[in-house]
Amino acid sequence: MNKILIYIFVVIIKLLIKTVRFEIHGLDTYKDLKARGERVIFAIWHGQLALFYPMSKYSKACGIVSRSRDGEIAANIIKYFGFDSVRGSSSRAGAMAILEAEKYLKEDFDIIITIDGPKGPKFDVKKGVIYIAKRFDCVIIPVVASVDRFLRFSSWDNFLFPKPFAKIDLFLGDPYITDKDIDKSKIKAETDSLKAKMLNMTERYAKFYL
């Protein structure tokens, strides 16, 4: 997909999302964290990424996207919605992605990580989000989205996209604080804990997505 086609696609999508209503739950907690100078990582399911765009009104953020061709397309598209991008795989916590993420964090950006991406399986949380949070002393905010009118794709992540006049509810969970220890067993335990928290939130707020 070349840049002209991406631009046309984004214009169409922007017209569509003007009809979408949204509500963000837990926004005050996020604002309090930022007021205290905390570094924030948003953890979201890969298939719900398109429902996250309302946060661009409140968060200066960048997403970690893969270096694949699909990642190139995603990076070009999300910039039109107010987000920057870091090229690299969060699942591998690649050196280049880590270095770029550090630059953004130093400039007070938040980081968006699709925790079961870039290739799944769905709900299989990768260790990269925990590793990055530990390395840069970040607070993780788990995010789950619900939408009442949507397209559901047959991809591995069951990617969701809002239909015209949909209502999106974005739920920001309680802050998840990691231990400073980077021992592999600690990272694995915290990855499992974050996965359980995300699944519990999904069961509560977006059961249709399970």
What is the structure's pLDDT at 91? 44
The H helix count followed by the E strand count for the chain is 6, 10
SS3 170: strand
Regions of the chain with pLDDT less than 50: 90-93
CA distance 196 to 201: 9
Q: Are 150 and 162 in contact (CB under 8 A)?
A: yes
Task: Please give the Cα distance from 92 to 90 (Å, whole number).
Answer: 5
Measured in whole angstroms, the distance separating CA 200 from the mean position of its chain's CA atoms is: 17
Strands 167-172 and 138-147: antiparallel
Give the pLDDT confidence score for residue 68 in this predicted structure: 64
**Displacement of CA 119 from its chain's centroid (Å):** 14
**What 3-state class would DSSP assign to 53?**
helix
- With CA atoms as reference, report the closest residue to 55 among 36, 75, 37, 40: 40
C-alpha 142/C-alpha 175 separation (Å) is: 7
Distance between CA atoms of 18 and 3, rounded to whole angstroms? 22
